[in-house]
A and B are shown apart, each in its own frame.
Chain A
């Protein structure tokens, strides 16, 4: 992405979601994009995945400048060059695990059996060989996400975009999924971009970027807002001290609430 800006609305109602950002993810690396709610993470992800057009700037995916393409050409880019992993898995409920993966494989030159074998192979790789015929409702959260990862890899894309992939998983399953994503990046030479609030993601990422107010900032150690619980980049955040300790807030509103009764929030945290 080069100098990408996205503005929603016009005139007084205009909101700048992304403000001239540059971003690059290379094959073989995991990049995590973190930031508070409303920072522009989803906008970033949807533009990176050729789902949304930027107001200005250029987006290139695996050598294709998608901002130059017409609407008719974008689905093919998304299908062949990008793999999506969603927060809530987004598997098709009436399809089995195998069918969910098989469905998205878009090799017109292969026969049905070859495509099914490819889907089976991907699911085996995810450790789901015993779950091929299971419907999503019969799978655990971790299994669903592994099916979703297999689906994202179905067309051997260069770029994997993951939106909060661990948000609906417990600690152990989240760790497993993150390990899997790193393994995919390294062993299959994919660029994996993860948007997440989860601090654990930082541990497996090669790089971390902090997105706030539509711009990337240096990714220092974030603090947790004691009022809303959100991760906050320390630099430039509203701050207050209590009991000789500094607290950082995502917005003035949280700061005001904290100042009205700091014991409540500190106590909760301590408790």
Chain B
């Protein structure tokens, strides 16, 4: 680093703290928002991706897992799927968004009834207690335990009945809601859906060709839609986060502008304050290129320090974010940190641009003014 750049930057501690703080705040905000988006994205589509199925069958017009209003008759399904050699096995699944209750307070849940024999559509993982719920029993996602204090042994109300919590599962957190699992027959009974299901989950003999078979099934079966797990997960993510993305984007842009403004203003005022000294350097034979480098290095180091502080704080605080706000599910990816580093670089280049223009206009003759 050039001597003048280093001295200018570090001799004004307060200014340095303000400019580094501004960039750090901006980086913190950007990385946290990105990580929050990644966290939500991971959670919202995660369950659909993790379910042991290659193709989901639903009533035509169904958009996603969360707003599942599909109703499919179970009668004759075995015979219909037997025509498709590619189907390894299938299983019905009932999903209904609803409000469960615990100690009088309401909890948003995805009420899931799965076939306990196939296990398809059941809990992704078991953290505590039973793996298969029996009559009157429910397995709740750990997110409910964390956010609402539901524990194994508790009783919760759902669908007009009380259920005893017998297990705690993982992988069923949708941030705004979480899954609770009961046996398929219990769900059919409670929801008065005997002989019906919300989805059919298909396991294919060749999962790599799931998309092709989904199209074939959809073409041959009237009134249904067939979609691969990946596409259904993407549709669910889009449903949950589609409206959030534009808002997040605006906040990200504002965070970038805040960082740019703070860094730009502090570097600009530092340049203006030192204009006379830059004029002296010009008079003594220093080129414009040297002076540009001085300003750019100051800006770059400010950005580097700001990024280090901002990203460091993100990594430090992220693991505890959910402890303070349960919905604050963050997932910090190194790719995002790399992207934010790129943003910071862009920020400091832009922040140095106007001061550099100011430097070009400094007349070295001014050094002779007393």
**A residues at B contact (CB < 8 Å):** 42, 45-46, 49, 51-52, 75-80, 82, 84, 86-88, 90, 92-95, 99, 102-104, 106, 151, 163-164, 167-168
> Could you say which of A49, A76, A94 contacts B283, with CB atoms under 8 Å apart?
A49
Q: Could you say which of A99, A106, A163 contacts B368, with CB atoms under 8 Å apart?
A: A163
B285 x A103 contact (CB < 8 A): no
On chain A, the residues within 8 Å of B277 by CB distance are 90, 92-93
Contact yes or no, A95 B285, CB < 8 A: no
How far apart are B282's CB and chain A's nearest CB, in angstroms?
A: 8
State whether B284 touches A94 (Cβ < 8 A).
no
Once the chains bind, are B367 and A90 in contact (CB under 8 Å)? Answer: yes
Q: Is the CB of A88 within 8 A of B370?
A: yes
Q: Which residue on chain B has the smallest CB distance to residue A95?
A: B7
Chain A residues within 8 Å of B364, by CB: 51
Number of interface residues of B (CB under 8 A): 21
With A51-B364, A82-B285, A95-B4 known, 8 other A-B pairs at CB within 8 A are: A46-B365, A75-B285, A77-B285, A86-B280, A87-B370, A92-B280, A94-B7, A151-B284
Q: Which residues of A are found within 8 Å of B365, using beta-carbon distances?
A: 42, 46, 51-52
Return the contact of A90 from the options B280, B286, B287 (Cβ within 8 A).
Answer: B280
Whether A42 and B368, one on each chain, are in contact in the complex, defined by CB atoms closer than 8 angstroms, is: yes
Q: How far is the CB of B276 from chain A (nearest CB, A)?
A: 8
Taking CB atoms, residues of chain B closer than 8 Å to A104 are 284-285
Contacts of B280 in A (CB 8 A): 86, 90, 92
Q: Out of A46, A78, A99, A163, which one reaches B284, CB within 8 Å?
A: A78
What 0/1 readout, one digit per residue, does chain B (272-315) give for beta carbons within 8 Å of chain A?
Answer: 00001100111111110000000000000000000000000000
Indicate if the CB atoms of B285 and A46 lie closer than 8 Å. Answer: no
B165 CB to closest chain A CB (Å) equals 66
Smallest CB gap from B287: residue in A: A75
Q: How many A-B residue pairs have CB under 8 A?
A: 65
Cβ-closest chain B residue relative to A90: B280
The answer to whether A106 and B367 touch (CB under 8 A), given A94-B7, A95-B4, is no
* Set of chain B residues within 8 Å of A82, measured between Cβ atoms: 285
A45-B368, A46-B365, A92-B280 are contacts. A78–B3 as well, Cβ < 8 Å?
Answer: no
Encoded as 1 (CB less than 8 Å from any A CB) or 0, chain B from 226 to 253 comes to: 0000000000000000000000000000
Chain B, 349-370, contact with A by CB distance < 8 Å: what is the 0/1 string?
Answer: 0000000000000001101101
Residue contact A84 to B284, C-beta cutoff 8 Å:
yes
CB of A161 to closest CB in B, whole Å: 10
B285 engages A86 (CB within 8 Å) = no
Q: Does B116 contact A (CB under 8 A)?
A: no
Interface pair A79/B284, CB less than 8 Å apart: yes
22 interchain pairs, CB-CB under 8 A: A75-B282, A76-B285, A77-B285, A78-B285, A86-B280, A86-B368, A88-B370, A90-B277, A90-B280, A92-B281, A94-B8, A94-B11, A95-B3, A95-B7, A99-B7, A102-B3, A103-B3, A104-B284, A104-B285, A106-B285, A163-B368, A164-B370
- Decide if B3 touches A99 in the complex (CB within 8 Å): yes
| C-alpha spacing A164/B367, complex, angstroms | 13
Query: Complex: how many Å from CA A106 to CA B365?
Result: 21
For residue A85, give the distance in angstroms from its CB to the closest CB of chain B: 11
| A45: chain B residues within 8 A (beta carbon) | 368
Report how far A219 CA is from B368 CA in the complex, Å: 24
Complex Cα gap A87–B276 (Å): 14
State the CA gap A59–B52 with chains docked (Å): 87
Q: A104 CA to B280 CA in the complex, in Å? A: 11
A86 near B367: Cβ-Cβ < 8 Å? yes
A-contact bits for B17-51, CB 8 A (1 contact / 0 none): 00000000000000000000000000000000000
Query: Of B4, B12, B367, which one neighbours A84 at CB under 8 angstroms?
Result: B367
In whole angstroms, how far apart are the Cα atoms of A52 and B368 in the complex?
12
State which of B4, B7, B286, B367 has its C-beta within 8 Å of the C-beta of A79. B286
Max chain A Cβ within 10 angstroms of own Cβ: one of B282, B283, B284: B284
A76–B4 Cα distance when bound, in Å, is 19
- Give the distance to chain B from A20, nearest Cβ to Cβ, in Å: 21
Chain A residues with CB below 8 A from B283, complex form:
49, 51, 78, 84
**A46–B365 CA distance with the chains assembled, in angstroms:** 7
Chain B residues whose C-beta falls within 8 Å of the C-beta of A78 in the assembled complex: 283-285
B7: chain A residues at CB < 8 Å are: 92, 94-95, 99
* Bound Cα distance A76, B282 (Å): 11
Bound-state Cα–Cα, A90 to B282, Å? 12
- Which of the residues A46, A77, A167 comes within 8 Å of B370, measured between beta carbons? A167
Q: Contact at B368–A92, with CB atoms within 8 Å? A: no
Residue of A nearest to B370 (CB): A87
Chain B residues in 8 Å Cβ range of A90? 276-277, 280, 367
The CA of A77 and the CA of B284, in the complex, are separated in Å by 9
Complex CA gap A139/B87 in Å reads 89
Among residues of B, the one whose C-beta sits closest to the C-beta of A152 is: B284
* Distance A108 CA – B125 CA, assembled complex (angstroms): 66
- Complex CA distance for A45 and B368, rounded to whole angstroms: 9
**A242 to B: closest C-beta gap in Å:** 33
